């Protein structure tokens, strides 16, 4: 039987999840809500049998909803999660978990105290590329790990496809450090170890606009981690995460594609037929299905989300 999903937020991420769930037999989106009623046609086009709720509270109370997926701006995540928990619902929340660390810690305490079913949507948790890297790290194939390098660049921020989400451009809860670098911070923490922030320089423009550049040094499990990010210029958008060991290296790029360095040369890792991006989306939903069925899964907990958030917010406060 399909797990019945309610969606809060039908922006870019909410619509993407709606479409991916529509292709997965394990889910049925039965309801959604967004403060902008103009988003309702997105729901009817993809899930014509689903209803557009009056508000978030009605959605949370609905008897035919098993799990609420939260794809709203970060400052609202915890309030919507509390509505869901109050009604006994499971929660699948977009990252970052929140922007207020104290409130985030209280949410984690509630989840753990009440044993709530909850996870954060960091897709690297399930991606085939990350599974391959994890296996190599565990087997020792790379030899002693030497360093991690993270690089992101954007021609403009927000990106063109994010233009309607105006909060992404503002320092209060947007910016590429929260929205993009947090994924790679999560990946580094999960694969290598707990994070400690060292030097960090972050550039902000005048006013309330989000950051335009970052340079940071961290440690993960005692391994040095370098971060470089920027907005502007003529370089095409890129994201790249490299793990370098004494006997080899991996490069995760364009989110889900993977290269491996062997004997000095880089080779693409083949994941078989189909788009590796689509395979990654499917794997994340497979993990969500397992969580809702009470089976083991690898989805990030709220506590992992808190750890990532605290590292990210520490970087942002370095400016």
The residue ranges of every structural domain in the chain are 3-120, 124-316
Tokens representing 12 are: 């870019």
CA dihedral 166, 168, 171, 172 (to 10 degrees): 80
For domain 3-120, the CATH superfamily is: NAD(P)-binding Rossmann-like Domain (3.40.50.720)
Contacts of 136 (CB under 8 A, 6+ apart): 142, 248, 250
Distance CA 91, CA 70 (A): 7
- Class of domain 124-316 as given by CATH: alpha beta
CA dihedral 165, 171, 173, 175 (to 10 degrees): 60
Contact indicator for 122, 191 with CB cutoff of 8 Å? no
Contact indicator for 123, 280 with CB cutoff of 8 Å? yes
State the distance between the two ends of the chain, measured CA to CA, in whole angstroms: 50
87: left (phi over 0), alpha (psi -120 to 50) or beta: alpha
Q: What does the pLDDT profile of the chain (319 residues) look like in tens digits?
A: 899 999 999 999 999 999 999 999 999 999 999 999 999 999 999 999 999 999 999 999 999 999 999 999 999 999 999 999 999 999 999 999 999 999 999 999 999 999 999 999 999 999 999 999 999 999 999 999 999 999 999 999 999 888 888 899 999 999 999 999 999 999 999 999 999 999 999 999 989 999 999 999 999 999 999 999 999 977 789 999 999 999 999 999 999 999 999 877 899 999 988 899 999 999 999 999 999 999 999 999 999 999 999 999 999 998 6
Is residue 247 helix, strand or coil?
coil
Nearest residue to 98 (alpha-carbon basis) of 285, 303, 318: 303
pLDDT score of 247: 93
Distance CA 228, CA 157 (A): 16
Is residue 130 helix, strand or coil?
helix
**pTM for the structure as a whole:** 0.95
Beta strand 248-253 with 238-245: parallel, antiparallel or unpaired? antiparallel
Is residue 236 helix, strand or coil?
coil
pLDDT score of 319: 67
pLDDT score of 164: 83
Tokens representing 263 are: 């004997």
Distance CA 100, CA 77 (A): 11
């Amino acid at each position: 039987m399909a797990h019945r999903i309610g969606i809060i937020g039908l922006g870019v991420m909410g619509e993407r999840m709606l479409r991916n769930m529509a292709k997965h037999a394990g889910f049925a989106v039965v309801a959604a809500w967004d403060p902008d009623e103009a988003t309702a046609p997105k729901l009817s086009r993809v899930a014509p049998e689903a209803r557009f709720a009056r508000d978030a509270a009605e959605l949370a109370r609905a008897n035919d909803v098993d799990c609420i997926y939260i794809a709203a701006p970060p400052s609202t995540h915890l309030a919507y999660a509390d509505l869901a928990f109050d009604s006994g619902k499971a929660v699948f929340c977009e990252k970052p978990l929140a922007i207020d660390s104290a409130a985030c810690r209280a949410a984690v305490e509630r989840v753990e105290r009440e044993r709530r079913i909850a996870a954060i949507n960091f897709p690297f948790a399930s991606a085939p590329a990350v599974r391959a890297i994890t296996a190599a790290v565990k087997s020792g194939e790379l030899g002693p790990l030497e360093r991690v390098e993270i690089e992101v660049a954007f021609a403009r921020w927000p990106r063109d496809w994010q233009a309607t989400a105006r909060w992404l451009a503002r320092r209060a809860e947007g910016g590429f450090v929260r929205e993009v670098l947090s994924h790679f911070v999560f990946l580094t923490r999960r694969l290598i170890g707990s994070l400690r922030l060292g030097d960090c320089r972050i550039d902000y423009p005048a006013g309330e606009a989000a950051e335009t550049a970052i340079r940071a040094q961290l440690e993960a499990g005692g391994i040095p981690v370098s971060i470089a990010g920027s907005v502007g210029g003529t370089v095409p958008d890129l994201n790249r995460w490299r793990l370098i060991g004494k006997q080899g290296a991996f490069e995760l790029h364009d989110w889900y594609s993977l290269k491996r360095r062997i004997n000095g040369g880089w080779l693409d890792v083949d994941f078989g037929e189909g788009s590796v991006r689509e395979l990654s989306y499917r794997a994340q939903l497979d993990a969500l299905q397992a969580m809702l069925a009470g089976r083991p899964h690898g989805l990030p907990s709220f506590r992992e989300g808190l750890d990532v958030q605290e590292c990210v917010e520490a970087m942002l406060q370095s400016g």
